[in-house]
Structure 1
Amino acid sequence: MSPALFLCQRCKEPLKLLQQQGGPLEVQHHANTPTEIPVSAESQVRTSGRPHSDGGRVSQGSALCTFTLLTSGGPDSEGGTTSQGNACCTFTLLGESASMRTMNTIQNTVLETFEILSDQKVVDHPLCVDCTDHLLMQLDDQLALLASDNQKYKSFQDRELLVSEEEREALHAELCAELSSLEQEEARLTQELEDLDGHHARVAAELRAAQAESKELYKQHEQHRVEYSVFKMEQLELMDQLSSVENQLTYALSQQYRLRQTNIFNATFTISDEGPLGVINNFRLGCLPGVRVGWTEISSAWGQTVLLLFSLSKIAGLQFQRYQLVPFGDHSYLKSLTGDGVLPLFSDGSHSVFLNNKFDCGMKAFLDCLQQFVEEIERDERCPCLPYRIHVKEGLMEDVWDSGECCSIRTHLNTEEEWSRALKFMLSDLKLILAWASLRYC
């Protein structure tokens, strides 16, 4: 049978029970330093059957098992006795002397185990020396406190015996009056407490209402904050759009001012001369034996000339009577309003200079339109005096300022020098008309 193990009830130090050879079991306290435990009497621990009523004697067949509490190291090698100077404390176990495994013992063991597991019984263990001293000190303190209370009680009792009947009745009446006053005070305080409870209930209701209102206001505040954020974003976008529109307006106004300051005719049409040849927008109009000009360039120059006269008539509000100008680049032409068909102002050089051709008719028709425009602008007092006079029927350009020479604008039976000089005279008149139109309409 393995030795039983015990723990100190306070410090939980292990206390080991050792079986002596042929004798009782010993309880060994595992401690490094030997400590004596004063025990006033033997402690008997019941482990099996109940004790007999005969002064602690057990029934027949039972035996006494003795345990010894050792306070130093284990038993020495000779018979299990402790060393000299070490104190021991003997515990006696009541039980069978033989195997200690009778039916009664088993039942009691099972019952006690059940009570321990169900917290219906507290298991007591031995105490070590330090814990025993601490327990004795606590018991001494409690005993001193009880003795003091007992002394006070006796003093009060002796004082009560010394009080007379009249004094007792007066004291009773005084205490009754004080009790009545205290009861009234209690009733008043109870009523005040009830009033305070009612006030507290009203305040709590108002607080709940205020909290609900605060929660609702908080929701509205959050909603307003979200709406404010949306409106703020829209405002920023509108401000960006407004700034963009203002910048565009500023740019448009500046462009408008520049356009107003710009002479559209002077910027679009440039008329100059290159020796005996007239030039419009870098296209030479005419040709010479020593200066060969392609018919594509001559047709392009006529296209620019038709476009210039067409623009001037449009801005002046003039409607030509016999012909309609159709600017079409290097294939510009005039459309007859009297049934003569289309008169081209372009050629590839294949027309015959010995016959009356449509190219010459087209140039004469152009002089007719130019003469109508000159007659229209001569009504203005600020109209310039043109240096070259137009003879529409003959198709001539007369130099009235200088030599009075007349040059034919036709190629029929004409030289290249005279034809080019007539075209230069025509461009010179258009240059003066262009300057007048720039001052008059721009």
Structure 2
Amino acid sequence: MSSPSPNPGAIMALADKTNRPNSSVKYQLVCCQRCAQMLDVETNFHQLEETILSELSAAESNRNPDGRPKSHRHSDQQPGGDIRERLRTAALEVRDEEDLALGRRQIVFSRDVAEEDGKHDRLRLMELLSDVSTVDHPICSSCTDSVMEELELEIQSVEKECVTYEYFLKQFKKNLTDGADAETVDLPSLQNELRELEEEERLLREQMKDAEGERQTLLIKEDFLKMEGEKMKRAEEEYFRERAQLDRELTELEDEQDSVNYQMRVSEMVLDKLKKTNIFNIAFHIWHQDQFGTINGFRLGRLPGSPVEWPEINAAWGQTVLLLYSLAKKMNFTFERYKLVPFGSHSYIECLDDQNKKLPLYGDGGFKFFWDSKFDHAMAAFLDCLHQFKGQVEKSDSGFCLPYDIEPGPARIRDVHSGASYCIRAQFNSVEQWTKALKWMLTNLKWGLAWVVSQFGEVSDQ
């Protein structure tokens, strides 16, 4: 590896600095030739007097444009002779064994030799500056360390080569010595051996040619297999992509199946609960509120202190007719003389003897209403139907008994324990007794509902 040579342009930048007016040399414009960083080559340059630098630059400025000096003067006649002497003296003082080991140049100036051209002056100026500085080349310390490491590696490599050469040289000398002591070589046998080796070489070359052909075939096959491998890789990627898609769909279907199974279990639980629940108990809730009997929350009757509105009474009668109609239908029982027609708040009863005659179980509470007997006839007919239902139940279950006895003729309900009886008609009757009779009627209807539920089972059997 060759070391970098000094850059005259970088060194001449120092002398060019002195040509500028009012300039004081405080740094050198020198760049490292490896990393191009600015360098401070030597602090001794700062100690040079400006007069010396001026004389150096003056010597440079006294040249023709073609680089030759304007006048031929010997070094001892030049104003810069004294400067060179001082530089040389300083260089001789700092030169030591380390400078010699590093291969620095030693400059000896001759006063008798004239400077004939500009190139010679430039080289001498460069030598002056290089001899004063402790740095041979414009290169930074880190780059110098790197160069030293590379040189050490090259030295080690060369040393290894030298050892190898010495070994082979010894072997060669040994072989020469052994050959001198050996017997005379049989030339014909060596020629035969040479021909055999040449024939073997020819055969090996033919084999190599065949092997090369096989190699080309294998390369073509390898390219084909690579293409097939790429196809297989793409097919594999497509397979795994489809597999991932199917796995995702399968997971979604499994989640959906789990959801459906859960919904089915919940539905089965609800179904079991509904199977144990009778529709009549849910649809018709008979209870009481103070002195009133209620069905599905509607009060049936009136009291002076609690005047129930007639729309509520009509709705209660509609629910009552629907309940008795449903119970009879459940038992496949048909009433005699009457037909119940559930029609909400306008339910009524048809007389089978006279189909044009309809007995309304609703009213408006007007003055004319209290003098109309159709409402009373309708309530009496309903009580008769309830009595017929009781008789049908007693045919199936002789032990069945209602808490209140029904007298359909006078349309009265009697308590068998106390003997008290109340008429279900509204005309010529007090509202208290009428309300009491309606409450007992709903109680009997509740007992009939309980018997039907117990006999005909759950809703699934209905």
Determine if the TM-score, normalized by the shorter chain, exceeds 0.5. yes
What is the aligned partner in structure 1 of residue 84 from structure 2? none
* Residue 224 (structure 1) shift: 0.9
What is the aligned partner in structure 2 of residue 35 from structure 1? 107
* Residue 354 (structure 1) shift: 6.9
8 Å CA contact 1:272, 1:278 repeated in 2:
yes
1:47-126 matched pairs, under 5 angstroms:
69=120, 72-73=124-125
8 Å CA contact 1:344, 1:362 repeated in 2:
yes
Q: Distance in 2 between matches of 1:305 and 1:245?
A: 41
User: Which structure 2 residue ranges, 5 or more long, are not aligned?
Assistant: 10-65, 75-87, 92-104, 110-115, 127-175
Question: Aligned AA for 2:214?
Answer: H
Structure with larger Rg:
1
Q: In the alignment, is residue 371 of structure 1 matched against residue 387 of structure 2?
A: yes
**Deviation by residue 1:335-361 (Cα, 9 ceiling, x = unmatched):** 556423543212222255774522112
Question: Aligned AA for 2:402?
Answer: L
In structure 2, the CA distance between the partners of 1:205 and 1:369, relative to structure 1 (3 Å rule), is farther
Q: In the alignment, is residue 226 of structure 1 matched against residue 276 of structure 2?
A: no
* Residue 183 (structure 1) shift: 0.8
Coordinate RMSD, CA, aligned: 4.3
**Deviation by residue 1:256-282 (Cα, 9 ceiling, x = unmatched):** 223233344334433344565433344
What is the aligned partner in structure 2 of residue 192 from structure 1? 207
What is the aligned partner in structure 2 of residue 18 from structure 1? 68
1:39-438 matched pairs, under 5 angstroms:
69=120, 72-73=124-125, 171=187, 173-273=188-288, 277-289=292-304, 292-320=307-335, 322-328=338-344, 330-335=345-350, 338-350=354-366, 352=368, 355-381=371-397, 384-392=400-408, 394-399=409-414, 401-402=416-417, 407-438=422-453
The normalised TM-score by structure 2 is: 0.56
**Deviation by residue 1:118-165 (Cα, 9 ceiling, x = unmatched):** xxxxxxxxxxxxxxxxxxxxxxxxxxxxxxxxxxxxxxxxx9xxx9xx
Divergent runs of 4+, >6 A: 65-68
Q: Distance in 2 between matches of 1:356 and 1:340?
A: 18
* Residue 314 (structure 1) shift: 4.0
* Residue 414 (structure 1) shift: 3.1
8 Å CA contact 2:298, 2:315 repeated in 1:
yes
More helix by share: 2
Question: Aligned AA for 1:331?
Answer: H
User: Which structure 1 residue ranges, 5 or more long, are not aligned?
Assistant: 1-9, 25-30, 38-64, 75-158
- The aligned length equals 313
Aligned to 2:400, the other structure's residue is in SS state: coil
Aligned to 1:379, the other structure's residue is in SS state: helix
In structure 2, the CA distance between the partners of 1:317 and 1:193, relative to structure 1 (3 Å rule), is farther
What is the aligned partner in structure 1 of residue 81 from structure 2? none
Aligned to 1:339, the other structure's residue is in SS state: coil
8 Å CA contact 1:395, 1:408 repeated in 2:
yes
**Deviation by residue 1:347-400 (Cα, 9 ceiling, x = unmatched):** 2222557745221122133224323433333332276212434444x3513427
* Residue 213 (structure 1) shift: 2.5
Aligned-pair identity in percent equals 33
More strand by share: 1
8 Å CA contact 1:351, 1:357 repeated in 2:
no
What is the aligned partner in structure 2 of residue 117 from structure 1? none
Question: Aligned AA for 2:267?
Answer: A
What is the aligned partner in structure 2 of residue 60 from structure 1? none
8 Å CA contact 1:306, 1:325 repeated in 2:
yes
* Residue 13 (structure 1) shift: 5.9
8 Å CA contact 2:351, 2:358 repeated in 1:
yes
Q: Distance in 2 between matches of 1:305 and 1:67?
A: 140
In structure 2, the CA distance between the partners of 1:363 and 1:231, relative to structure 1 (3 Å rule), is same
**Deviation by residue 1:268-306 (Cα, 9 ceiling, x = unmatched):** 433344565433344332234565444343323223322
Q: Distance in 2 between matches of 1:410 and 1:257?
A: 44
Question: Aligned AA for 2:191?
Answer: C
**Deviation by residue 1:156-176 (Cα, 9 ceiling, x = unmatched):** xxx9xxx9xxx79x53x3442
Q: Distance in 1 between matches of 2:318 and 2:400?
A: 25
